[in-house]
Structure 1
Amino acid sequence: MSKRKNNASFKKSNKEQKQHGKKKNHAAQKHQAKPQGNQGNSPNQGKKAVTAELTCNGFSNDGKGLVDWEGKQLKVPYLLPGETAEIAITKKGKYYNTKLKRVLKPSKDRAKPPCPYYYDCGGCQLQHMNSSAQDQLKQNTVDHLMKPFVKPEPIMTMDHPWDYRNKNHMTFGLTRNRQIIGGLYAQNTHRIIDMDRCIIHDPKADQIVHTIKGMMKSFKMIPYNEDSGQGFLRHVLIKVGKASGEIMVVLVAASPIFKGKNNFVKALTKEHPEISTILLNINDKDTSMVLGDQEKVLYGKGTITDTLCGMKFEISPKSFYQINPAQTEKLYGRAVEMAELTGKETVIDAYCGIGTIGLIASQKAGKVIGVELNKDAVRDAIRNSKRNGVNNARFYQGDAGEFMVQMANHGDKADVVILDPPRNGSDEAFLSSVVKLKPKRVVYVSCNPETQARDMKYLVKNGYTVEEIQPVDMFPQTHHVESVAKLVRK
């Protein structure tokens, strides 16, 4: 699950890199489509390139093609296995940068990317592959990583692998001739790609962003410049309740002073009456974080609700909520199946967040105990529990590993532990606490099968057997794949 949503040197998703990257190149430019990408193994632009004709012999975990050159294996973005291509290679120190110049022998799996910004943006990595090839790549990735345990089930795919993101974030800037542009950052930079549509975003959310961009000039909403510290509007964040239809708009500004805010709200909601709430978030710090600590509700109640697996969840600007609810229902459904709940079990929901998977499991469990470090998330989980009339779930703020050690020391028991850690997985301290508590079953939900496989090796060494592994495609068009596994104590 993509919490904080494959490969040790590529732990951050490209989406996170472009939104939170440290490189500061703020010369916002109008997008010009590129025939091929220039993403590589290190930032080595400016060095003289060697061009080689090479054949791709496989895939890396992050969706790049692999080639052998002068005794080294290099990654090449946008290259498919079996393809022969001209590749530009530059070297800086011990690192190599590659660029696909021209495909000489294309694969039958190659597709024309439907997004005109694909080679610039970097948020998606697999649009140059057809759907069946994308599915096979992700299946092969999980199969390879899980080879020491058990053969994974066929991957759960998405019927319509577009328009799925329920959380959209756009940034604004000025061109040299003072024209307002808005869109996403080009990969690994702070150069804004001016765009009106991202085809994995919710379409309605992009329409609202386009409307806001058109209103900015008349309401004197100058885009914020991170170099000079001047300007007002930094970002627009939109969250959509896919089931409820409710929409939240968050204006992230550098100052709390928003002249004409009432007229702005009136104009925006007239154009988009489907908007449920509008907030002003204040981020006046020199930071790569999108949201600041202060916020003010301008319209509506400040939150939206959505339904997942039959339960309602309240979503605030800072709430973690799964990006793709349609696939999340499949993922959580399999996780609850693997827990084998009969109505009597005590379940620990570690890294519980706002309580989604724990509350869903509570419908079939005897008792659920959720543990989460983030106190705001715990508050949301308690509120969601009450909203759904759940009486058999309790949520605690703290370290889940320490909590389980205390349970074991007091002689308390748990039948099932469900864990859903960040991308870097669980540490040995947490895993040892699971072993000490001795639950009958462990259900491990992961947004990074590589760290999941590493953690499961520890559990297998300490008395558990892996019985089932289910990959789920939560982020079509990207290299990310999620996996849920069932482990049983011997």
Structure 2
Amino acid sequence: MSKRKNSGYKKPDKNSKSDKSYKKPNHAKGKPKSGKPRGQTAVTNSRQHGQKATTATVTCSGLTGEGKGLVKWEGKQLEVAHLLPGETAEIRVSKKGRYRNAELKRVVKQSDDRVDPPCPYYYECGGCQLQHMSNQAQGRFKQNIIDSIMKPFGKPEPILTMDHPYDYRNKSQMTFGRNKERQIIGGLYAQNTHRIIPMDRCLIHDPKADEIVQTIRGLMKSFKMQPYNEDTGQGFLRHVLIKVGQVSGEIMVVLVAASPVFKGKNNFITAFRKAHPEITTLLLNVNKRDTSVVLGNQEKVLFGKGTITDTLCGMTFEISAKSFYQINPVQTEKLYAKAIEIAELTGKETVVDAYCGIGTIGLVASQKAGNVIGVEMNNDAVRDAIRNSKRNGVKNARFYQGDAGEFMMQMAARGDKADVVLMDPPRSGSDEAFLSSVVKLQPKRVVYVSCNPETQARDLKYLTKHGYAVEGIQPVDMFPQTYHVEAVTKLVLEK
């Protein structure tokens, strides 16, 4: 993939400070208009707090790992959201304590990579960070991030991008509240706030999910259902979580409420099913806690079986409300195909699937492995993995609840062998206890899937110091329109 001057990832210097994202003003009916930043827009509230704001003209020299433009101002390096390399722009700089916040006021000279964001909520929401970049520029940006971070371990392969980089999320959630006119609204929180942005459509959600959310909002008004108020603790409906099987077409809707008392439940369900007969299951989840965690522990199935199924890499998986399941199936198939390829399975290998979740990658690997051992701390996920194994008629996979590091230490102590370890840790990466267990077990190959290249690089440094060599790095764009990038890396035990 070609590179352009000043289009790459640059690490911020020690004087770099985070900025506040440029936000469009609120418009009538809560729908912001689309378009590029313009000079006359009110950008900052710094004057309301007695802070003096300065306007400056700057040129962007590169991007941070979060896709923010890097500029120099009075000897300081600042980060400016929605600014591209090579662009000249007016920014507004304000000081809050010892930090300086830089906000985009107007682009004076545009990059060829700039496009009009198709989402009308883009500048206000913050859930996507790269819609002002062309798809080609997004690919280069993510490639450069991986190339820079993984430089000590070799040259990564060209990133696997997505042909249609929208509508890909098979899991979405919206929050309900009231606006100043006391009307019920549904949407997403503005970045770093609990202020709801009313929206009809999120362009990376499955379109059917957003359609269902709008129906729920209308039914709330008809049935006098009160949205939950975080400040007062009053009200009923907090969130809605929707999961869509993109191959099966099955749809799960989870109403997250503050109370198990659902007034008018039967009539609501009847009206809801009439509006959307395609929904296969509806659940009520009760979350009474004052927390940012969406789902509570209490759950009741209102109709359907309480789960949906979907097909991934030719295998069928059962998905519950709390199951972790990759949110972009199209790109997941590319990711898993690469992971199985570099695992070099011949039908004889023993594979340990650490962090196995509901068993997705382990069960896919079982088609080409001798046997698979999946280990996962979450007991519910282990039960899901066992059910998925039976559902697909897999005879050569076993799943265990426990700490994967301890499990592998016990394997090594017994003299058991593993040919391949598959690991897909959370964004925080792995830890030394787990990595040392890999070293102790000494599998011939380690296939490391990561959604955070920085923590992956940290873990690769440990493994390469303890007998492993990196033999391949494949980035995958799992989350188009955002700065996130995934990578699968192959490590082999040096003789």
TM over 0.5: yes
Task: Indicate the SS of the match to 2:456.
Answer: helix
Where does residue 204 of structure 1 map in the other structure? 208
Where does residue 13 of structure 1 map in the other structure? none
Say yes or no: does 1:407 pair with 2:411: yes
Name the amino acid aligned to 1:200.
I
Is the Cα–Cα contact under 8 Å of residues 439 and 466 in structure 2 kept in the other structure?
A: yes
Runs of 4+ off more than 4 Å: 6-9
Where does residue 184 of structure 2 map in the other structure? 180
Say yes or no: does 1:281 pair with 2:285: yes
Name the amino acid aligned to 1:32.
P
Equivalenced residue count is 464
TM-superposed CA distance for 1:48, in Å, is 2.0
TM-superposed CA distance for 1:337, in Å, is 0.4
- Using the size of structure 1 for normalisation, the TM-score is 0.92
Distance 1:140 1:45 in 2: 39
> What aligned pairs does 1:386-425 form with structure 2 within 5 A after superposition?
386-425=390-429
Say yes or no: does 1:149 pair with 2:157: no
Among 64, 68, 71, the alignment partner of 1:64 is: 68
What are the superposed Cα offsets for residues 417-436 of structure 1, whole Å, 9 maximum, x if unpaired? 01000101111111111111
Distance 1:102 1:8 in 2: 25
Where does residue 471 of structure 2 map in the other structure? 467
Is the Cα–Cα contact under 8 Å of residues 37 and 107 in structure 2 kept in the other structure?
A: no
Is the Cα–Cα contact under 8 Å of residues 233 and 252 in structure 1 kept in the other structure?
A: yes
Among 244, 249, 252, the alignment partner of 2:248 is: 244
> What aligned pairs does 1:323-402 form with structure 2 within 5 A after superposition?
323-402=327-406
TM-superposed CA distance for 1:410, in Å, is 1.1
Among 257, 263, 266, the alignment partner of 2:261 is: 257
Where does residue 119 of structure 2 map in the other structure? 115
Distance 2:277 2:271 in 1: 10
- Asked which structure has the greater RCO (Cα within 8 Å, sep 6+), the reply is 1
Where does residue 87 of structure 2 map in the other structure? 83
CA RMSD of aligned residues (A): 2.0
Is the Cα–Cα contact under 8 Å of residues 281 and 296 in structure 1 kept in the other structure?
A: yes
Where does residue 447 of structure 2 map in the other structure? 443
What are the superposed Cα offsets for residues 253-301 of structure 1, whole Å, 9 maximum, x if unpaired? 1111112211111111111111000001111111111111111111111
Task: Indicate the SS of the match to 1:168.
Answer: strand
Where does residue 32 of structure 2 map in the other structure? 32
Task: Indicate the SS of the match to 1:353.
Answer: coil
TM-superposed CA distance for 1:94, in Å, is 3.5
Among 473, 480, 484, the alignment partner of 1:476 is: 480
Is the Cα–Cα contact under 8 Å of residues 125 and 188 in structure 2 kept in the other structure?
A: yes
Name the amino acid aligned to 1:230.
Q
Distance 1:305 1:73, change over 3 A: same
Distance 1:285 1:74, change over 3 A: same
TM-superposed CA distance for 1:98, in Å, is 1.2
Where does residue 296 of structure 2 map in the other structure? 292
Distance 1:181 1:221 in 2: 12
Where does residue 23 of structure 1 map in the other structure? none
Name the amino acid aligned to 1:161.
P
Name the amino acid aligned to 1:177.
E
Is the Cα–Cα contact under 8 Å of residues 54 and 87 in structure 1 kept in the other structure?
A: yes
Is the Cα–Cα contact under 8 Å of residues 44 and 97 in structure 1 kept in the other structure?
A: no
TM-superposed CA distance for 1:348, in Å, is 0.6
Is the Cα–Cα contact under 8 Å of residues 282 and 301 in structure 2 kept in the other structure?
A: yes
Task: Give 5+ residue unaligned stretches, structure 1.
Answer: 1-5, 10-17, 19-28
Where does residue 25 of structure 1 map in the other structure? none
Among 150, 160, 165, the alignment partner of 1:161 is: 165
- Using the size of structure 2 for normalisation, the TM-score is 0.91
Name the amino acid aligned to 1:222.
Q
Is the Cα–Cα contact under 8 Å of residues 470 and 492 in structure 2 kept in the other structure?
A: yes
Where does residue 315 of structure 2 map in the other structure? 311
Among 221, 226, 230, the alignment partner of 1:222 is: 226
What are the superposed Cα offsets for residues 146-189 of structure 1, whole Å, 9 maximum, x if unpaired? 11111111110101101000011011111233211111111111
Where does residue 138 of structure 2 map in the other structure? 134
Is the Cα–Cα contact under 8 Å of residues 185 and 198 in structure 2 kept in the other structure?
A: yes
Distance 1:319 1:132 in 2: 33
Distance 1:489 1:49 in 2: 56
Distance 1:91 1:433 in 2: 48
Distance 1:144 1:329, change over 3 A: same
TM-superposed CA distance for 1:251, in Å, is 0.5
Among 259, 268, 271, the alignment partner of 1:267 is: 271
Is the Cα–Cα contact under 8 Å of residues 7 and 450 in structure 1 kept in the other structure?
A: no
TM-superposed CA distance for 1:45, in Å, is 8.3
Distance 1:193 1:7, change over 3 A: farther
What are the superposed Cα offsets for residues 82-110 of structure 1, whole Å, 9 maximum, x if unpaired? 00111111223332211000111110000
Task: Give 5+ residue unaligned stretches, structure 2.
Answer: 1-8, 13-20, 22-28
Distance 1:45 1:249 in 2: 42
Task: Indicate the SS of the match to 1:474.
Answer: coil
